[in-house]
Protein backbone atom coordinates (compact mmCIF):
# COMPACT_ATOMS: atom_id res chain seq x y z
CA UNK A 1 0.00 0.00 0.00
CA UNK A 2 1.34 3.43 -0.93
CA UNK A 3 2.10 6.07 1.66
CA UNK A 4 1.10 9.62 0.80
CA UNK A 5 2.52 12.42 2.95
CA UNK A 6 1.28 15.98 3.34
CA UNK A 7 3.77 18.36 4.92
CA UNK A 8 1.90 21.47 5.95
CA UNK A 9 4.04 24.56 5.34
CA UNK A 10 2.10 27.46 6.78
CA UNK A 11 -1.31 28.65 7.86
CA UNK A 12 -3.13 31.95 7.51
CA UNK A 13 -6.50 32.89 9.04
CA UNK A 14 -8.22 31.54 5.91
CA UNK A 15 -6.11 28.58 4.73
CA UNK A 16 -3.41 25.98 5.28
CA UNK A 17 -0.86 25.32 2.53
CA UNK A 18 1.32 22.25 2.15
CA UNK A 19 3.10 19.84 -0.16
CA UNK A 20 1.94 16.30 -0.93
CA UNK A 21 4.34 13.48 -1.81
CA UNK A 22 3.61 9.91 -2.87
CA UNK A 23 6.48 8.11 -1.20
CA UNK A 24 6.92 5.21 -3.65
CA UNK A 25 6.08 7.17 -6.82
CA UNK A 26 7.62 10.19 -8.48
CA UNK A 27 4.76 12.57 -7.68
CA UNK A 28 4.58 15.85 -5.79
CA UNK A 29 1.97 18.62 -5.72
CA UNK A 30 0.65 21.36 -3.46
CA UNK A 31 -2.28 21.17 -1.05
CA UNK A 32 -4.83 23.70 0.10
CA UNK A 33 -6.93 23.21 3.22
CA UNK A 34 -8.87 25.27 5.70
CA UNK A 35 -6.97 26.64 8.73
CA UNK A 36 -6.80 24.70 11.98
CA UNK A 37 -9.94 25.48 14.01
CA UNK A 38 -9.80 22.69 16.62
CA UNK A 39 -11.14 20.10 14.16
CA UNK A 40 -14.55 21.78 13.96
CA UNK A 41 -16.75 20.38 11.22
CA UNK A 42 -16.89 22.42 7.98
CA UNK A 43 -14.43 25.13 9.14
CA UNK A 44 -11.22 23.29 10.06
CA UNK A 45 -8.59 21.18 8.40
CA UNK A 46 -8.28 17.69 9.86
CA UNK A 47 -5.80 16.86 12.66
CA UNK A 48 -2.27 15.78 11.90
CA UNK A 49 -1.95 12.00 11.94
CA UNK A 50 -2.31 8.86 9.84
CA UNK A 51 -5.44 7.90 7.93
CA UNK A 52 -6.53 5.25 5.44
CA UNK A 53 -7.97 6.61 2.19
CA UNK A 54 -10.34 4.76 -0.16
CA UNK A 55 -11.65 5.82 -3.54
CA UNK A 56 -15.41 5.96 -2.93
CA UNK A 57 -18.52 7.51 -4.46
CA UNK A 58 -19.50 10.91 -3.08
CA UNK A 59 -23.19 11.82 -3.07
CA UNK A 60 -22.16 15.48 -2.74
CA UNK A 61 -19.98 15.47 -5.87
CA UNK A 62 -21.88 12.67 -7.67
CA UNK A 63 -18.61 10.96 -8.56
CA UNK A 64 -15.80 9.09 -6.85
CA UNK A 65 -12.92 10.80 -5.06
CA UNK A 66 -10.57 9.65 -2.35
CA UNK A 67 -12.18 9.74 1.09
CA UNK A 68 -10.08 10.20 4.24
CA UNK A 69 -11.45 7.68 6.74
CA UNK A 70 -11.58 7.62 10.56
CA UNK A 71 -11.05 11.35 11.06
CA UNK A 72 -12.03 11.96 14.70
CA UNK A 73 -15.58 13.37 14.94
CA UNK A 74 -15.69 13.96 11.16
CA UNK A 75 -16.91 12.19 8.03
CA UNK A 76 -17.00 12.80 4.29
CA UNK A 77 -13.53 14.34 4.08
CA UNK A 78 -12.41 14.14 0.44
CA UNK A 79 -9.39 14.90 -1.70
CA UNK A 80 -10.99 16.83 -4.55
CA UNK A 81 -10.46 19.72 -6.98
CA UNK A 82 -10.89 23.27 -5.69
CA UNK A 83 -9.14 26.54 -6.38
CA UNK A 84 -10.16 28.54 -3.30
CA UNK A 85 -10.17 27.66 0.40
CA UNK A 86 -13.76 28.95 0.55
CA UNK A 87 -14.74 25.94 -1.62
CA UNK A 88 -13.59 23.54 1.11
CA UNK A 89 -15.53 22.18 4.09
CA UNK A 90 -12.62 20.37 5.72
CA UNK A 91 -11.46 18.59 2.58
CA UNK A 92 -8.08 18.73 0.81
CA UNK A 93 -7.56 20.37 -2.58
CA UNK A 94 -4.60 19.52 -4.81
CA UNK A 95 -2.89 21.68 -7.42
CA UNK A 96 0.43 22.27 -9.14
CA UNK A 97 1.01 25.93 -8.27
CA UNK A 98 -0.43 29.00 -6.56
CA UNK A 99 -1.72 32.24 -8.02
CA UNK A 100 -3.99 35.13 -7.07
CA UNK A 101 -6.83 33.95 -9.31
CA UNK A 102 -9.61 36.15 -7.92
CA UNK A 103 -7.30 38.98 -6.77
CA UNK A 104 -8.62 38.95 -3.16
CA UNK A 105 -5.09 38.89 -1.68
CA UNK A 106 -5.28 35.18 -0.78
CA UNK A 107 -3.21 32.66 -2.74
CA UNK A 108 -5.32 30.21 -4.72
CA UNK A 109 -4.28 26.76 -5.97
CA UNK A 110 -4.11 26.19 -9.73
CA UNK A 111 -4.72 23.29 -12.13
CA UNK A 112 -6.57 21.44 -9.39
CA UNK A 113 -8.79 19.22 -11.54
CA UNK A 114 -5.84 18.03 -13.64
CA UNK A 115 -3.70 17.46 -10.55
CA UNK A 116 -6.41 15.38 -8.82
CA UNK A 117 -6.84 13.29 -11.98
CA UNK A 118 -3.10 12.65 -12.17
CA UNK A 119 -3.00 11.78 -8.44
CA UNK A 120 -5.83 9.25 -8.88
CA UNK A 121 -4.22 7.71 -11.97
CA UNK A 122 -0.84 7.27 -10.28
CA UNK A 123 -2.44 5.56 -7.28
CA UNK A 124 -4.70 3.56 -9.61
CA UNK A 125 -7.62 4.43 -7.31
CA UNK A 126 -6.25 1.92 -4.77
CA UNK A 127 -6.35 2.59 -1.04
CA UNK A 128 -3.37 4.26 0.61
CA UNK A 129 -2.11 5.55 3.94
CA UNK A 130 -2.22 9.35 4.31
CA UNK A 131 0.27 10.87 6.74
CA UNK A 132 -0.33 14.53 7.63
CA UNK A 133 2.57 16.32 9.29
Residue 112 has phi, psi (to 5 degrees) of -65, -45
Q: What is the CA radius of gyration of the chain?
A: 13
Domain assignment of residue 83, given as a range: 2-132
pLDDT value, residue 34? 98
pLDDT value, residue 19? 98
Please name the residues in contact with 20: beta carbons below 8 A apart, sequence gap of 6 or more.
Answer: 4, 5, 6, 28, 29, 30, 31, 94, 119
Which of the four pLDDT bands, split at 50, 70 and 90, describes residue 103?
confident
Please name the residues in contact with 63: beta carbons below 8 A apart, sequence gap of 6 or more.
Answer: 57
> Considering its fold, how many domains does the chain have in total?
1
pLDDT 10s digits, 32-47 = 999 999 999 999 999 9
pLDDT 10s digits, 11-67 = 999 999 999 999 888 999 999 999 999 999 999 999 999 999 999 999 999 999 999
CA distance 131 to 133: 6
Amino acid sequence: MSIVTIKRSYETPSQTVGTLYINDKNFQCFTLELPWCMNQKNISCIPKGQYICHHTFSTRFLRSYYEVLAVPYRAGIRIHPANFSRQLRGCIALGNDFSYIDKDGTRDITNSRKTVQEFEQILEKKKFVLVIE
